[in-house]
Every structure is written in C-alpha cells, then in structure tokens.
Amino acid sequence: MISATPLSSASGAGGCLCGAIRYRVTSPLRPVVACHCRQCQITSGNHVAATSAPREAVEVDGDVQWFQSSIEARRGFCATCGSNLFWDGGGDRISVMAGTLDQPTGLRLAGHIYCDTRGDWFELTDGLPQYSGSDDRALVDLP
C-alpha cells in the first residue's frame, strides 16, 4: 500500500526559455509526476516531469502554441524556443511542466507513470512508486 503524496502548498510562476511566455499559478501545485509515455519521451527528450493546477488558476502571458497530440490531449509550447510548457487533457486541471517553473519550487517528485514504455537506456533508481499506466491519481492526493 502506497500512501499518496499530499497536495503541496506551493504555488509559482514560470516561463519558456526565450522569455516570450510567462505564466503564474494562483493555487497550490500538485506534487510532480514523471511520465514516461512515448509522447512525453519524444517531446521532452526523456520524460516529462509535470505538476498540475486547476485550469482557472493558470494565468498565461504570451502566445502559447498548441499541438493536438491525441484525441483527448494537447500540448502547449513556445513557437520561438520550443519549450514544453503545458499538457491539457481537457479536464478541470492543466499540467504544467515542472522544469519551466522558477526555482525554488517547493515541490517534490511523487513517482513515475507509464513506466512500461520508459526509455530502455534510462534507469529508475529513486525508489519512488512506479506505475505501468496513467495512475497519477494513485500517486497524488487531489481534492
């Protein structure tokens, strides 16, 4: 039995590499979940590490480009520098790529999802929970 990581009290701000896009999150951020699905591998170069927040709590300044990566999800990025910023699955929360947050974030990694498709050259040695599919709800205690 794995106990879920409680919701962080941290909120934050961040942006893309070139500075054209900045965002602010006005609610507590979810602990970070690492996703090893093929789409995240390809768009990030290894895996995505993402936090999340209620959609209405993410305020964006700048022109985010969206790529429809599957029937239900789209990925937000900067067209100038290519930074991956957001993952939007159409629900009430939007994922924010943790690496784009200003540091310190006050967040910690809760675990890994889609481990079945993780890069065969990449070892998971942090001892955190690993799931074969999309089980971030098991990893993180959300309201």
Place of tokens 């896009």: 21
Phi-psi region of 45 (alpha: psi -120 to 50; beta: other; left: phi over 0): left
136's enclosing H/E stretch is helix 136-139
How many whole angstroms separate alpha carbon 1 and alpha carbon 57?
A: 32
Q: Tell whether residue 35 is a contact of Zn ion (CB under 5 A).
A: yes
Q: Which of 40, 50, 94, 107 binds Zn ion (CB under 5 A)?
A: 40
- Least gap, CB of 1 to Zn ion (angstroms): 25
Q: Which is nearer to Zn ion, 6 or 17 (CB)?
A: 17
Rule CB under 5 A: choose which of 65, 80, 105, 117 binds Zn ion: 80
> Judged by CB under 5 A, which of 25, 37, 101, 140 binds Zn ion?
37
Alpha-helical segments (H) within 18-121: 38-44
Does residue 65 bind Zn ion (CB under 5 A)? no
For 57-111, the DSSP string reads GEEEES-EEEEE-SSS-EEEEETTT--EEEEE-SSSEEEEEGGGBPSP----EEE
Q: Does 18 bind Zn ion (CB under 5 A)?
A: yes
Binding test (CB under 5 A) with Zn ion, winner from 81, 91, 92, 132: 81
Asked whether position 20 contacts Zn ion by CB under 5 A, the answer is: yes
Residue 110 found at the interface with Zn ion (CB under 5 A):
no
Residues that bind Zn ion (CB under 5 A): 16, 18, 20, 35, 37, 40, 78, 80-81
